[in-house]
Amino acid sequence: MRIVKLTEETKQNLLEDLLKRSPSNYGEYESIVAGIVDDVRARRDEAVFSYTEKFDHAKINAENIRVTEEEIREAYAQVDEKLLAVIRKSLVNIRSYHEKQKKYSWFDSQENGTLLGQKISAIQKVGVYVPGGKAVYPSSVLMNIVPAKVAGVERVIMTTPCNAEGKVNPNTLVAAHEAGADEVYKVGGAQAIAALAYGTESIPKVDKIVGPGNIFVALAKKAVFGFVSIDSIAGPSEILVLADETANPRYVAADLLSQAEHDEMASAILITTSQELAQKVSDEVDGFVKVLSRKEIIQKSLDNFGYILVADDMKTAIDAANEIASEHLEIVTANPFDVMTRIRNAGAIFIGENSSEPLGDYFAGPNHVLPTNGTAKFFSPLNVDDFMKKSSIVYYSREALQAVHKDIEQFAKAEQLTAHANSIHVRFEEEEDC
């Protein structure tokens, strides 16, 4: 990996480099995606079936687009029993973590005759998109469905690509069933997002769409946002390791590569105060790349977006980490909890050498759907709140309104909204006429 001295200039160059990976920078695909989205909105099922045959080489129709109970049973027969046991253990952890996030309605009544509050309700229908291209991610199935179910979503509708024979990956299907998906449809890509957003004869319209995907999926979510809600427009995966001279270089190298293997656009960055550690990590990375199964993807990722930055001191290193605002941040220092208190921007923070990033991906419980491309400065991980909505509650007795009605009328008149003022005034006009 390239080793660079961390300066203000190198930091700015890095930030500009990372931003190139944002889906917003792929305008050349937007017209293609817009065409697919508009076509699905107009032709509905007919367009979905056509695109599925074109892109996935599968003949799907109204009779076989929805996964059946029989197909689910077949999937269970194909899944390794040990993997099923792990999925169930992971589900317990994910559900337990997200149950602690749930919020409840509240009401506050006063003796003056007022009651204010907040009514919290679950979103009624949610669409979950699950990729099925370069890699299959049953872990993402759990991370997207479980918080929705914990929130109380009535209907979770999942879409995922099928193979040329019209079959969904069995691991994906079993994970969906275990997590509580209500329906699963065999459609992927931008056409799946459009179908969920607008509805077709076979696929119901949803209120919100969540889940990762390629650039076409990301741009389709961007295109339908506003007509439905979405979780985010996710960019490629990224990891930043913050380390000092006490870190184990072999561990650090292995953790960096855990994200670099996702795709050629993934980012893996080490910021360290130790030149010696920097060199050792670089050497370990070279050794690992030679033997790992996805070495071509890893090498391209490292060549494009892999960095080892050497900082003068820990404060400079932490400041840079906060500027980068990485999706995953590992802290491997002598006092990792102290460093953690100074981190403002990160999707997920992993503390200490035994808390490697894949622990969060698969098992610990916190959600692995995280903000990318620096958006951790203002976005949060996927959570139960993403599947709930809030309504304000207002109640005033006549006596309570009478005490303040002239204040409200004055405010409305100051904004030249006389109908607003009149709406309050008519309730007391008889009294004023007397």
Spell out the residues 6+ positions from residue 412 whose beta carbon is closer than 8 angstroms to its own: 418, 420, 421, 424
Task: Give yes or no for a contact between 174 and 142, defined as CB atoms under 8 angstroms apart.
Answer: no
328 as an active site residue: the answer is yes
What pLDDT score does 183 carry?
97
Six-digit token string for 248:
């184990």
430 as an active site residue: the answer is no
Task: Give yes or no for a contact between 228 and 88, defined as CB atoms under 8 angstroms apart.
Answer: no
Task: Give yes or no for a contact between 115 and 108, defined as CB atoms under 8 angstroms apart.
Answer: yes
Q: Long-range contacts: 313-317, Cβ < 8 Å, 24+?
A: 313/273, 314/244, 314/273, 314/339, 316/6, 317/6, 317/242, 317/271, 317/272, 317/273
* Tokens 């622990």 found at: 359
CB neighbours of residue 319 within 10 Å: 17
Q: b vs e for 401-410, b when ≥16 Cβ sit within 10 Å of the residue's Cβ?
A: eeeebeeebe
- Closest C-alpha to 247, from 298, 308, 185, 183: 308
Of 328, 353, 368, 405, catalytic: 328
Q: First vs last Cα of the chain: how many Å apart?
A: 86
- What is the distance between the alpha carbons of residues 285 and 257, in angstroms, rounded to a whole number? 8
Six-digit token string for 399:
């006596």
What pLDDT score does 25 carry?
62
Backbone angles phi, psi at 210, to 5 degrees: -130, 165
Of 238, 327, 353, 357, catalytic: 327
Residuewise pLDDT in 10s, the chain (434 residues)? 999 999 999 888 888 888 777 666 667 788 999 999 999 999 999 999 999 999 999 999 999 999 999 999 999 999 999 999 999 999 999 999 999 999 999 999 999 999 999 999 999 999 999 998 656 789 999 999 999 999 999 999 999 999 999 999 999 999 999 999 999 999 999 999 999 999 999 999 999 999 988 889 999 999 999 999 999 887 788 999 999 999 999 999 999 999 888 888 889 999 999 999 999 999 999 999 999 988 999 999 899 899 999 999 999 999 999 999 999 999 999 999 999 999 999 999 999 999 999 999 999 999 999 999 899 999 999 999 999 999 999 999 999 999 999 999 999 999 999 999 999 999 998 876 65
What pLDDT score does 262 carry?
86
What pLDDT score does 249 carry?
97
pTM above threshold 0.75:
yes
